[in-house]
């Protein structure tokens, strides 16, 4: 949110929203004074949900386009601006430093096609990444690749006036003559899809309309594009598009039913084409995260071929990895930490398949095959380890990463002896390495020149005990030698869900915090995948409270060990992490000085009714079911706001372009929290703000310029409200 030169005047009582009064009603830190927040009308609606009677006073804010909601948002944005106007010098300094950290050349992982490399790149002075190509020939100087020069194929600068249109590289033909790419606006998940003739650098006539796409696959001859997308009824399907024809002529090749099983909105369908072009691969993931994943293949060499099940009706997550026509599947079937099997048709249960890489103590998180070698990425106490195997399962080496951080497996072509991998940490900007499979040597392919002195900072790992006695790991980063005397502000983030592992990676937001003399912390909560499927299951459904208890125990550990104090502890989280922030403010508001709650799930009684919320019932459950409502309503933040509680400073972050988590959660919770805080004694009231943008959304995609200003707002609020001068 860019500071306005003058605060908008909002007419009192407009559409049920009253303007903030001139008298001081709320005190922020460092002399910030605010009037009363916009008073949102209460219009109680009573429902029976899962056998529980619930009253919702702000149901009207679910209507995003109503005149009342838009008036509410205008008032909230003006109120939030009035806060930032009072801390403008701090914010200006943060914008200046973030600009230095962000305005560097950034390059994505390359993909090789016939001697050329295709990749995303954002030059330092541009707001979006474009798609580039360069010859694969190169020389090495000083341990780094010297690039011979890249050609811009798709220019993101030409796609919008406000620089909030972004492109993504979807697929490249085997010959490297066609490129499929997506265009989206703001942070929306939906995109349009175009096809580029690489030689002419001009789009073909092919265009796929705005939709949520789930996978693409060009055939080797470049004549056919298969793609998966979500239909208007919420169901998924796979289509065949002939290059050079109109998209309304595309034919559906999969979807609806399979083996007498009707597929619905909870069954996410993706597709790909094998590198040799022999197979159309369709994957059906039942739920998010999937409780079951089916892998179906169609032989494209046979005109009348049907889809054959490679993996079917197994309650597990599985991923196909091909080398020619040899098929390997990594799966957690009968192996919560994962294993790799040699697949074969005829036994979709996988029971008779040969084990290539057996299950171990540490969970397998990624697998790739390059030039006949298999790269298996594991998390060993949440630290990345990649082991190299032959296709028969013999260990032949490993990738050496520079320090504690996040390293990928090696990605490349089946027959190429060169691949690429990435590494990043809290103190190390993302670096891409080129890996020679024959020699085992790694060379820096791309390293951004971020003006951050990594040598001055360190990352440590600690373990603490959660409420039920579970041992939980946590990463802590900060300046070397920073005293643990309780005086440092500390920023902590977390997620805890959907089998997602949280590992150290670079972010200018965290870098700035550490530069100011603060600590940064990341606990590895249950619900993630850091210790395999059992760790994930320990934070799902009726066990979701474990995630929150792990988080509270992390805060208590940091305070008890004098990293910080309650007043100087700032927390931030988005999406499922936004739910974590909601639970933090409603269950343990005494532990924090400030909370940033971004793109959050907060009204868990109704989340499944909006956008793609139904996908997540395989993680949370649904309050529509009485047995699940019993535990969901115990932690649902919106239903657990309490009167007479001293809340910390809170800022909710959302925007109209969030097409994943409905922004109504942030709107309703902000209104309810503001009303609750105003009922507290005046001397105990802390700011509650709604930072709302009409362009921003859940996904990345906004311009670098807007991202810098949005991040500056977050840091300004959290830093100021932890009381640091």
- Closest by CA position to 650, among listed 670, 633, 665: 670
Of 274, 575, 584, 622, the active-site residue reads 575
Pair of tokens at residue 594: 């400030």
**Rounded Cα distance, 145 and 590, in Å:** 52
**Rounded Cα distance, 293 and 558, in Å:** 39
**Rounded Cα distance, 78 and 92, in Å:** 19
Q: Report how far apart the first and last C-alpha atoms of the chain are (Å, whole number).
A: 22
Of 241, 286, 665, 698, the active-site residue reads 698
- Number of other residues whose CB lies within 10 A of the CB of residue 197: 13
Q: Compute the CA torsion angle 62, 63, 67, 69 (nearest 10 deg).
A: 20
- Closest by CA position to 178, among listed 121, 118, 252: 118
Question: Is there a catalytic annotation at residue 466?
Answer: no
- Closest by CA position to 547, among listed 466, 660, 661, 659: 466
**Rounded Cα distance, 438 and 418, in Å:** 8
According to DSSP, the β-strands at 594-598 and 649-655 are parallel
The 8-class DSSP code of residue 260 comes to: T
- Closest by CA position to 688, among listed 603, 610, 586, 587: 586
CA-only gyration radius of the chain, Å: 26
Residue 158, exposed/middle/buried by CB under 10 A (0-12, 13-18, 19+)? exposed
Residues 120/129, Cβ–Cβ less than 8 Å: yes
- Number of other residues whose CB lies within 10 A of the CB of residue 262: 9
- Closest by CA position to 313, among listed 328, 292, 296, 298: 292
- Number of other residues whose CB lies within 10 A of the CB of residue 532: 24
Q: Is 207 helix (H, G, I), strand (E, B) or coil?
A: strand
- Closest by CA position to 461, among listed 599, 388, 397, 557: 557
Pair of tokens at residue 428: 């190390």
Pair of tokens at residue 250: 């595309």
- Number of other residues whose CB lies within 10 A of the CB of residue 219: 17
**Rounded Cα distance, 378 and 21, in Å:** 56
Give me the sheet containing 191-197, strands edge to edge. Answer: 165-172, 178-185, 191-197, 202-211
Residues 3/85, Cβ–Cβ less than 8 Å: yes
Number of residues that make up the chain: 725
**Rounded Cα distance, 298 and 283, in Å:** 12
Angle value at C-alpha 452, between 386 and 95, nearest 5 degrees: 120
What would the DSSP string read from start to end of 598-630?
ES----TTTGGGSTTGGGGHHHH--TTSHHHHH
**Sign of dihedral through CA atoms 431, 432, 436, 437?**
positive
Instruction: Supply φ then ψ for residue 219, to 5 degrees.
Output: -75, 155
Question: Is there a catalytic annotation at residue 575?
Answer: yes
Residues 285/270, Cβ–Cβ less than 8 Å: yes
**Rounded Cα distance, 666 and 698, in Å:** 12
Q: Is 101 helix (H, G, I), strand (E, B) or coil?
A: helix
Residues 431/446, Cβ–Cβ less than 8 Å: yes
Catalytic site positions: 575, 698
């Amino acid at each position: 949110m860019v500071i306005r030169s003058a605060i908008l005047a909002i007419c009192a009582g407009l559409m049920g929203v009253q303007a903030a009064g001139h008298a001081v009603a709320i005190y922020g830190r460092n002399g910030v004074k605010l009037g009363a927040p916009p008073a949102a009308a209460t219009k109680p609606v009573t429902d029976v949900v899962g056998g529980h009677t619930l009253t919702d006073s702000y149901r009207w804010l679910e209507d995003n386009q109503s005149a009342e909601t838009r008036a509410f948002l205008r008032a909230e944005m003006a109120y939030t601006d009035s806060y930032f106007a009072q801390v403008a010098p701090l914010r200006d300094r943060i914008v200046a430093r973030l600009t230095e950290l962000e305005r560097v050349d950034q390059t994505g992982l390359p993909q090789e096609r016939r001697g050329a490399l295709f990749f995303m790149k954002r030059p330092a002075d541009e707001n979006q990444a474009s798609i580039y190509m360069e010859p694969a020939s190169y020389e090495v100087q000083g341990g780094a690749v010297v690039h011979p020069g890249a050609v811009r194929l798709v220019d993101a600068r030409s796609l919008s006036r406000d620089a909030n249109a972004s492109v993504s590289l979807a697929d490249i033909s085997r010959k490297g003559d066609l490129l499929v790419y997506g265009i989206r606006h703001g942070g929306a998940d939906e995109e349009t899809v175009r096809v580029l003739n690489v030689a002419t650098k001009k789009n073909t006539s092919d265009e796929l309309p705005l939709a949520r796409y789930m996978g693409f696959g060009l055939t080797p001859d470049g004549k056919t594009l298969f793609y998966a997308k979500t239909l208007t009824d919420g169901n998924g399907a796979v289509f065949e598009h002939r290059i050079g024809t109109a998209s309304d002529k595309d034919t559906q090749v999969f979807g609806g039913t399979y083996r007498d099983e009707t597929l619905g909105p909870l069954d996410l369908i993706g597709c790909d084409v094998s590198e040799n072009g022999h197979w159309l691969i369709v994957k059906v993931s039942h739920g998010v995260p999937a409780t079951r994943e089916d892998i179906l293949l169609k032989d494209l060499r046979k005109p009348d071929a049907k889809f054959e099940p490679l993996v079917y009706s197994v309650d597990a997550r599985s991923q196909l990895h091909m080398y020619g026509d040899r098929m390997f599947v990594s799966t957690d079937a009968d192996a919560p930490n994962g294993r790799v099997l040699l697949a074969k048709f005829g036994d979709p249960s996988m029971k008779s398949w040969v084990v290539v890489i057996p299950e171990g103590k540490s969970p397998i998180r990624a697998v790739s095959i390059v030039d006949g070698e298999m790269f298996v990425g594991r998390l060993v106490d949440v630290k990345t380890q990649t082991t190299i195997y032959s296709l028969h399962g013999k260990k032949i080496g490993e990738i050496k990463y520079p320090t504690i951080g996040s390293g990928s497996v090696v990605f490349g072509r089946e027959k190429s002896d060169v691949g690429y991998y990435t590494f990043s940490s809290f103190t190390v900007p993302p670096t891409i390495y080129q890996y020679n499979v024959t020699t085992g040597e790694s060379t820096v392919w791309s390293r951004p020149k971020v003006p951050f002195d990594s040598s001055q900072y360190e990352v440590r790992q600690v373990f603490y005990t959660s409420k039920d006695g579970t041992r939980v790991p946590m990463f802590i980063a900060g300046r070397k030698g920073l005293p643990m005397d309780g005086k440092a502000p500390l920023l902590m983030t977390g997620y805890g869900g959907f089998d997602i592992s949280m590992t150290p990676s670079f972010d200018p937001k965290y870098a700035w915090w550490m530069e100011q003399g603060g600590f940064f912390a990341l606990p590895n909560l249950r619900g993630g995948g850091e210790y395999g499927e059992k760790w994930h299951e320990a934070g799902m459904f009726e066990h979701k409270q474990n995630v929150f208890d792990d988080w509270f125990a992390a805060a208590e550990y940091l305070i008890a060990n004098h990293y910080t104090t309650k007043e100087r502890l700032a927390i931030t989280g988005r999406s499922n992490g936004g739910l974590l922030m909601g639970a933090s403010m409603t269950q343990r508001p005494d532990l924090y000085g400030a909370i940033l709650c971004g793109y959050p799930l907060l009204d868990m009684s109704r989340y499944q009714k909006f956008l793609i919320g139904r996908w997540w019932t395989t993680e949370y459950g649904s309050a529509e079911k009485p047995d699940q409502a019993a535990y969901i309503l115990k932690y649902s933040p919106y239903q657990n706001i309490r009167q007479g509680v001293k809340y910390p400073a809170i800022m909710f972050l959302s925007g109209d372009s969030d097409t994943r988590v409905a922004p109504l959660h942030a709107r309703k919770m902000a209104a309810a929290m503001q009303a609750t805080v105003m009922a507290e004694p005046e001397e105990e009231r802390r700011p509650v703000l709604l930072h709302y943008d009409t362009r921003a959304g859940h996904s990345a995609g906004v311009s670098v310029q807007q991202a810098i200003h949005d991040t500056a707002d977050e840091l300004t609020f959290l830093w100021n409200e932890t009381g640091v001068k």
